[in-house]
Structure 1
Amino acid sequence: MKQLCEGLKHPNCRILQLLLYQCHLTSTCCEALSSVFHINQTLIELDLQGNNIGDSGMSLLCEGLKQPNCKLQKLHLDRCGLTAACCQDLSSVLCSNQALTELHLSTNKLEDSGVRVLCQGLKHACCRLKSLLLHWCDLTAVACGDLASVLSTNQNLTKLCLSRNTLGDSGVSRLCEGLRHPDCRLQHLLNNSSLQVLEFWENDLGDLGVSLLCEGLKHPNCNLQDLGFKRCNITSACCDALASVLMKKPSLKLLRFSEEKLGDAGVSLLCEGLRHPNCKLQKLMFWQCDLTAACCEDLTAVLCSNQSLGELKIRNSKLGDAGSFKALEAPYLAHTGFDHQMPLFRSPITGPGKNATQPSPASQSLLSAFPVKLPHCPECRCGHRAQAEPQPPSGQERGWSPSVPAADGLPSVLPRDRGEEELL
């Protein structure tokens, strides 16, 4: 590592990013890395995730980070064996380093005492930090009071991540005090006009909690754009409240559900909001939400009326052939603004088998839903031949590749380099 640092300090070195993920580094290397910070003026990102540098190593790094010539902007220290003992050094860095804008400290045992010390630096006038990640840092409601005070004073901080911490209801209430402050500029985490992204992962909100949340989402000052729920114990009972949000908040562009028991009844209620002329939702995602073919008629009606919806993604659902026919018939899509983006991940649609040379009826229906003539591919088992020049859908210029063969004999309609993880 010392040899590498000598190269980083060379006048000809122009490296911008240095990723040393899980490289078995310890505190021994940190003094050499620290010396790089005040010499190398081009290095703006350092990733040390998964290296057990500990508090002693962090202290050595902070010596370099406090140097006036340090230009580092992003520092990743996830899973580095840090504790509350290092937070005083980090706080002093935040008070002096005006280049650092992104700090990752997830999966370190900082605890409430460490965050309290860290918040002293976050509230300093010289702090320019925009993004702070504290996933799985053994935090409780106590830390939320200190973080709320940061939200009300630090106008640079726009992203704060606190997942996998036992904050509880009282902790969230304390955070909301900071979020409601007029000087709060947080965008990613309701009377807060700056908040744009709100994600709930494995929080036991229940239907009542979501219904109460919707009252805040409908407030005139709320400009939320992205709302997601994953394993929050919600059912169709809250979908009427969510539909009312869709009717009243044209700012909402993305709505995601993962592993929630919405069922067909829930989708039917949501579709009432989706068909409303005020709804401007662009992306709708359902992952393992107990959907069947019964919901497809409502979804089809949405496709025929909502000209804003550009992506509909359904995964791990029992739509079956009949549901696919309803949702993907070309006559419906022909007169809408739908942008040909409807991956049906892991929905049971029967096929002819691996050795077949012709697509099944369900496959033919999927093919006909997309007005694209595919060139014959010798490796494609569907045997489809183009009758005319291909007419790519409107999304092609954004990276679509409709001619790539898929494993079940269907042409893939997924975007390049984008997988199922996009659902959440």
Structure 2
Amino acid sequence: MNYNNLQDSGVKLLCTGFKDINCKLEILSLKNNCITEGGCHVLAAALNSNPSNLTELDLSENKLGNPGMKIILTLFENVQCRLEKLNLKNNCITEGGCHVLAAALKSNTSNLTELDLSENKQGDSGVTEISSLLRNSQILQILRLSDCSISEEGYKALSSALRSNPSHLIELDLTGNDPGESGVKQLSDLLQDPNYQLKTLRFLGPAADEGCQYVTGIVGKNPLLLRELNLRGHKLGDTGVWLLIQMQ
């Protein structure tokens, strides 16, 4: 039901079907439907009345804010909740919302394996809250935090949490943030840990990542860790120059 402008009133109508005992809905996607806190009340009540089949919920690009997210998180208080994937991308969630989220997911036997909080403005403080969740989670495998105003302090908190509990997270997306030199080094050191199981780490855009790999192949070092880069004597060609531009 993505991109349908349902708004809270439309969600209320839709939810009448979710309460039916015969409803076997497993995946619900309501991306970009102008849903607010009011719609969350109705949706959470409906899903809590019949929670055992839903495994994936996408509420990205709505207007939940911290209050709306808090209501949705009541789903995890239900022992019958089987939710494995939750997408809250671009929902005006801030540091306070991250505190509630971390507390909700740590205080129960959550089945959540995939969480997307991209394009929210939780900043370093919010990411520190999420890091506390990573220290204890035995389930979460995929975490997306792209464009979340995270700087070196947030990267340090994430790296510390992942180093203390390295065996579960397999994908981490941090594109669109500003790690700084120390943040890049934190992640680089983390990847050298033989106990770490991370298979996919994104902290640059696709074009910049390709450029970084290109330069690393030439000089043998990650250019993001260098203060000075000298490529004199190398035949870069137009393609090589273009890749360098993408790293800016």
TM-score bracket, normalised by the shorter chain, equals 0.7 to 0.9
Q: Do the aligned partners of 2:118 and 2:148 also contact (CA within 8 Å) in 1?
A: no
Contact 1:96–1:126 (CA<8 Å) still a contact in 2?
no
Measure how far apart 1:193 and its partner are: 4.0
1:230 aligns with 2:175: yes
2:32–2:59 contact (8 Å) kept in structure 1: yes
User: Quick check: 1:144–1:174 contact (8 Å CA) kept in 2?
Assistant: yes
**Identity across the alignment (%):** 33
TM-score w.r.t. the length of structure 2 is 0.75
SS at match of 2:239: coil
Q: Distance in 2 between matches of 1:114 and 1:194?
A: 24
Higher fraction of helix? 2
The residue aligned with 1:383 is none
- Counterparts of 1:327-342 in structure 2 under 5 Å? none
How far residue 248 of structure 1 moved from its aligned partner, in angstroms, is 1.7
Contact 1:258-1:287 within 8 A present in 2 as well: no
1:298 equivalent in structure 2 = 220
Return the letter of the residue paired with 2:103: S
| Cα distance in 2 between the residues matched to 1:228 and 1:61 | 33
Consecutive unaligned residues of structure 1, counting only runs of 5 or more, are 1-47, 181-189, 261-284, 300-317, 325-345, 351-424
Secondary structure class of the residue paired with 2:24: coil
Q: Return the offset for 1:297.
A: 4.6
| Residue 69 (structure 1) aligns with | 22
Residue 166 of structure 1: aligned partner:
121
1:29-108 to structure 2, matched below 5 A, reads 48-97=1-50, 98-108=52-62
1:151 aligns with 2:95: no
C-alpha change, 1:133 and 1:228, in structure 2 (3 Å) is: closer
Q: Any idea what the Cα deviations from partners look like across 1:307-365, whole Å, max 9, x if unmatched?
A: xxxxxxxxxxx9x98469xxxxxxxxxxxxxxxxxxxxx93499xxxxxxxxxxxxxxx
Equivalent AA in structure 2 for residue 298 of structure 1 = G
Separation in 1, partners of 2:47, 2:63: 19
For residues 17-42 of structure 1, the C-alpha deviation after alignment (integer angstroms, 9 at most, x for no partner) is: xxxxxxxxxxxxxxxxxxxxxxxxxx
In the TM superposition, what is the alpha-carbon distance from 1:168 to its structure 2 partner? Answer: 3.0
Instruction: State how far apart, in whole Å, the 1-side matches of 2:74 and 2:151 are.
Output: 35
**How many residue pairs end up in the alignment?**
228
Alignment check: 8 A CA contact 2:128 2:158 kept = no
> How far off its partner does 1:102 sit?
1.2
- Tell me, yes or no, if structure 1 residue 254 matches structure 2 residue 177: no
- AA aligned opposite 1:140: T
- State the shift of 1:259 in Å: 4.6
- AA partner of residue 24 (structure 2): K
Note closer, same or farther for the CA distance 1:79–1:286 as it changes in structure 2 (3 Å cut). same
Amino acid at match of 1:258: L
Code of the residue aligned with 2:160 in structure 1: it is E
Give the equivalent residue in structure 2 for 1:286: 209
Q: CA RMSD in A?
A: 3.4
Pairwise CA distance, 1:225:
2.6
Matched residue of 1:230: which SS?
Answer: coil
Alignment-derived partner of residue 214 in structure 1? 159
Q: Larger Rg: 1 or 2?
A: 1
Aligned to 2:228: none
The verdict on how the C-alpha distance between 1:154 and 1:59 changes in structure 2, with shifts beyond 3 A counting, is farther
Task: State the one-letter code of the partner of 2:166.
Answer: C
Higher relative contact order (CA 8 A, sep 6+): 2
